[in-house]
Every structure is written in C-alpha cells, then in structure tokens.
Amino acid sequence: MFKCLLKSTMASAFVVGVLSSAAFAQDAAQYDAEGQLKLPTDYREWVFVGANTSPHELNDGKAPFNEMRAIYIDRDGYDYWKTNGTFKDGTFLIKEVMSATRYEGTTGNGYAAGDIVALAAMVKDSKRFAEDTGQWGFFRFPKMKDSKFFTNVSGKYGEDRCSYCHEAAASETDMVFLEHYPVLRDAQGTGISGVPVKPE
Ligand code: HEC
C-alpha cells in the first residue's frame, strides 16, 4: 500500500515536473507588444563562444572600432548547433562590445576590457525574419543619453546598417563570423563540446 502510494506520488510529481518545465520553457528571444526585441539580462550566463579585439595600435593608430568584444549564444541555440551543426530558428547571439584599454601587468603588456560601449544582437527566425538575409534579424540596444544604462528593448536594424556587412564577409558561415569563435567551430555537429582533451 505504502509502496503503491509512493509510486503514484512519484509518478504525479514527475508529470507535474514535465508539465511545468514545458509550461515555462520559452525561447530566449522575447518581444514586446510593439515587436521590439527584449534584452535578456542573463545573457552573461549563456555559452560564451569567443572574443576578439582591434586596437588602435594595430590599425595605424586609428582603428575603425577600438574595441574588445565578447560573444554569447543562448543555450538551446548552442545545443542544437553542437548536435546538428546549423543555427536553428530562435538562435540568439549577443555581442557585448567593450572599450579596449592598455595595461602593464604581471603577464606582460596587454589589452583589457573596459566599460561596455555597445550591445548588438542577432536572432535567427525563418518566420519573423522571412524577408531578411539569411533569416536573421539584427538589433542594437542603444546606450541611454547621459547614463551608464542601455535600453532594454530594440527595434530591428535594416540591411543598410548591419546585414550588408555580415552578408559580404560571412555568408559562407550563415552570416556569423565563425572564425572568431573556437567554441562554436570545435563543437559544430559533433555532439560534444570540443574541449581539447583526449576522449576516454
Ligand atoms: C562593417 C561590417 C559590419 C557591420 C556594418 C556590422 N557588423 Fe556585426 N560583426 C562584424 C564582424 C567583423 C563581427 C565579428 C566580431 C567583430 O570583429 O566585431 C561581427 C559580429 C557580430 C555579432 C556576433 C555574431 C557574429 O555574427 O559573428 C553580432 C550579434 C553582430 N555583429 C551584430 C551586428 C548588428 C546588430 C549590426 C548593426 C547595428 C552589425 N553587426 C553591423 C561586422 C559588421
């Protein structure tokens, strides 16, 4: 009797668990009533895929963008990429752009990340962005005037501002600059994260 009760309690706990996780599972990309993309404030807990910098000193003293960048992908998008090797609908990439500052440290002279200066995003969606190149929507969360804060929603940016450049230089890799992202390159379609240790 007790066993039976225990079993049915466990079974219903399981059902509730499955139902509630399904009920709460939602795409990383959420939009407000006007169709503006909301900035997910937990993106620093997503999968970090790579970083790059283009400082003044390597660009004849005047880099077009004297920045450091850190790129993140949402967890579902990464899992799908890892298994299938392509970006699924709903894939959400965020580029956090920081100022590049010089420092002299114990490991030598270097560049470190300063304040965040821009937040850019791309979302793949074959329905919502059916007309856009590669079915990617481009967004940029602007910094508010005289504030350290960024707006937390963004309208879509047109081809003339964003996708023309991605299309010109990264069309072979679905508009994403894969050459900068070892975490994506190593995992693509392998089913494993590609950490370079000898498999068991
Ligand atoms: C002049 C070319 C150019 C333009 C214009 C441009 N990008 Fe990019 N974008 C890049 C390059 C190159 C990278 C790779 C990282 C880096 O060097 O900044 C990149 C990376 C990104 C990434 C990270 C994922 C990826 O595709 O590699 C996002 C997100 C992004 N850009 C969004 C935007 C948005 C939003 C706009 C318009 C507001 C924009 N980009 C305009 C060249 C461009």
140 lines ligand 1 (CB under 6 A): yes
Q: Which domains does the chain have, with CATH numbers?
A: 27-187 (3.50.70.20)
Task: Write down the pLDDT at residue 114.
Answer: 93
pLDDT of residue 199: 75
Q: What is the pLDDT of residue 30?
A: 98
Mutate to test the pocket of ligand 1, among 36, 43, 95, 171 (most ligand atoms within 8 A of CB): 95
Nearest CA to ligand 1 atom 26: 176
Distance CA 54, CA 172 (A): 23
| 178 Cα: distance to centroid of ligand 1 (angstroms) | 11
Of 63, 32, 42, the C-alpha closest to 153 is 32
Compute, in angstroms, the gap from residue 198 CA to the centroid of ligand 1: 34
How many CB atoms lie under 10 A from the CB of residue 168?
A: 8
Say how many Å lie between the CA of residue 80 and the centre of ligand 1: 22
Cα 121 to ligand 1 centre (Å): 9
pTM to 2 decimal places: 0.89
**One-letter amino acid for residue 22 of the chain:** A
| pLDDT at residue 8, as a whole number | 54
> Which residue type occupies 112?
A
CB 89 within 8 A of CB 125: yes
Note the pLDDT of residue 11.
Answer: 53
pLDDT of residue 186: 96
Q: Within 13 Å and on the Cβ side, how many CA atoms surround 58? A: 11
Averaged pLDDT in 10-residue chunks for the chain of 200 residues: 52 50 76 97 97 95 95 98 98 97 95 95 98 97 93 96 98 98 97 86
Q: Could you say which DSSP state residue 19 is in?
A: H
In the prediction, which pLDDT does 134 show? 97
- By C-alpha distance, which of 109, 112, 139 is closest to 29? 139
